[in-house]
Structure 1
């Protein structure tokens, strides 16, 4: 599998009154049409979006839908419903026709059949329901990657940037947090992303130096690079500044240390650190728009959910609300060649 992914802001649709349900349905359907979905596939999207948005109003009074285009050989659409309600019994709601408040009652089980990818987490803090749609005729292998990216106050300029490249058995990941926020922070982050995208599989120390060179003359920023090689079951990490990164397995967490400095201005050159036996673990990277005091073990079962669900929960509960914020969660798995 060879793939290149780049930054894009998450589209947020507030769900606070009944009129916004129709708007959400039309918006998601329009995105699906732009991706080339036919009438039947657009209908699947519309049905599920209507149901999950209605459920937010009826069970939590308000919440959000997050929309992302999923690039690749076949483009897809991701829809995540997020609320802070009292949660629900996932087992009961998987039954077709189950409805407690008079919605269509198509049930989570039916949503699972409408969407190619489906997952859900619900507890006393709220619920997150993930659906991913592709044209039904396409054979698509889901990439177990979750990303949520938001600019401060919905500014069209975002000072965070991320990029991901897959080549054979290797995954290379970049995250940048340009100093501050707004257009100048965005320019700094974009300059670094351009350097990464020229040769994402270069030696991480050399690549960081190239990023530093391209970010000169900008505000600079924090930068983290992660390289996972499933063939050798290892991950290399190098970070400058306040990008957080953690490896999570069933029995332990490993924080990945970043060092002081500002890429583009001044930092002390350091080697990448290697971490062994990473296959099957989660890698979570995040800009400092997210608080660092979270612990997935406070959410029973969450670490076994889809990475997109994990990213959405962390953003919902730990966003500082005073800076751009990006959360990237990836399951480190053996890749198909």
Structure 2
């Protein structure tokens, strides 16, 4: 089941809560003593920066996996730390990122040290809109740690953000991405309702992905029905990218949202009504679209408003996909529009040429 530590940070007392969450998450991920200490340091600094620069926000701490070699993962589990705020933005990010730039009541490390001890570190800030700071820390330190470290050679990257409803221990949403030869398959599942029973359903879908990744999306969804039969069921969407033909195939059952951006045009990809594991549509069409070097795919659960507004396109494909997911989530939420379910956004994007080995 998907375990996420979601810690609101609105006063200095919550910095300790973030540190405790990072320690627990590091143990859950299997980081070991040294890398666990690095994760705790980074989490503490990011939480303090939320207060200093963002007027408060939230810290999301979770384990991430994928077969594409997320920056900072080394093809294995990594701890992902995301600090998200709606604040004024960091006025001078370059200065804030230097060693020796210390935040009030922090450990004196600052963003510069966070960048050095993380296997991947990225900050996106916009005046008046807020800041997203994202770090990944792997159990084994990589040879070239730091900002936007190259991936393992995959021409596409994947990342996501998962926010459980009401800071619950488990999220009823789950996503995963695997590569099988020249095929990259991204799956997002939303178990019915929320809590442990929903997490069991979405976890069952993710758990079967690796052995079914060779199937076209419609056939994969059909094969998932028996796997989820003993759960409450889930909405599931599957996208498969052929890296040779550069075609993206998509199929979905239930209310998973999907949008494909190519150039400056966003196109919705439609799912069929139903519940994987409970109600199978009589007919499940499969979309097939071209994938270009500026394409970007967003899958999201129904915790995100269906009419979310995409971020500016100028640098969208250059951001880490998890940063893109965090920006989409942040800009689509507000106190006046509280979430009523778990919220997950997963993004598949091309790897920029300057970030390939």
Q: TM-score, normalising length from structure 1?
A: 0.83
Q: Does 1:11 align with 2:5?
A: yes
- Residue 115 of structure 2 aligns to a residue whose secondary structure is helix
Question: Is residue 226–residue 236 contact of structure 1 (8 Å, CA) maintained in 2?
Answer: yes
Deviation at 1:125, TM superposition (A): 2.1
Give a deviation string over 1:107-161, Cα, whole Å, max 9, x none: 5344322222111111212111111123564358648322222332344454333
Question: Is residue 9–residue 149 contact of structure 1 (8 Å, CA) maintained in 2?
Answer: no
2:61 alignment counterpart:
67
1:98-117 alignment, distance < 5 Å: 98=101, 106-117=109-120
**Which of 94, 98, 110 is equivalent to 1:95?**
98
CA distance in 2, matches of 1:272, 1:309: 29
1:20 alignment counterpart:
14
Question: Is residue 117–residue 142 contact of structure 1 (8 Å, CA) maintained in 2?
Answer: no
**Aligned Cα RMSD in Å?**
3.2
Question: Is residue 170–residue 195 contact of structure 2 (8 Å, CA) maintained in 1?
Answer: yes
CA distance in 2, matches of 1:281, 1:190: 28
1:125-204 alignment, distance < 5 Å: 125-135=129-139, 137-139=141-143, 142=151, 144-156=157-169, 158-204=171-217
**Which of 347, 350, 353 is equivalent to 1:329?**
347
Structure 2: gaps of 5 or more residues: 66-73, 145-149
Distance 1:10 1:102, change over 3 A: closer
Give a deviation string over 1:168-224, Cα, whole Å, max 9, x none: 332112222233334554454345445544422223222221223444465444221
Give a deviation string over 1:268-311, Cα, whole Å, max 9, x none: 32332111133442221001111122233458645532111121
Deviation at 1:243, TM superposition (A): 0.7
CA distance in 1, matches of 2:161, 2:204: 21
Distance 1:230 1:128, change over 3 A: same
CA distance in 1, matches of 2:123, 2:303: 25
Q: TM-score, normalising length from structure 2?
A: 0.79
CA distance in 2, matches of 1:31, 1:240: 32
2:79 alignment counterpart:
77
Question: Is residue 251–residue 271 contact of structure 2 (8 Å, CA) maintained in 1?
Answer: yes
Question: Is residue 173–residue 202 contact of structure 2 (8 Å, CA) maintained in 1?
Answer: yes
1:248 alignment counterpart:
261
Deviation at 1:253, TM superposition (A): 1.8
1:318 alignment counterpart:
332
Question: Is residue 322–residue 347 contact of structure 2 (8 Å, CA) maintained in 1?
Answer: yes
Distance 1:313 1:137, change over 3 A: closer
Distance 1:135 1:209, change over 3 A: closer
1:3 alignment counterpart:
none
- Residue 20 of structure 1 aligns to a residue whose secondary structure is helix
How many residue pairs get aligned? The number is: 329
- Residue 231 of structure 1 aligns to a residue whose secondary structure is coil
1:207 alignment counterpart:
220
1:4 alignment counterpart:
none
Q: Which moves more between the two structures, 74-83 or 147-156?
A: 147-156
Give a deviation string over 1:10-69, Cα, whole Å, max 9, x none: 211222222322342344245446624343x44433433232211212233322221122
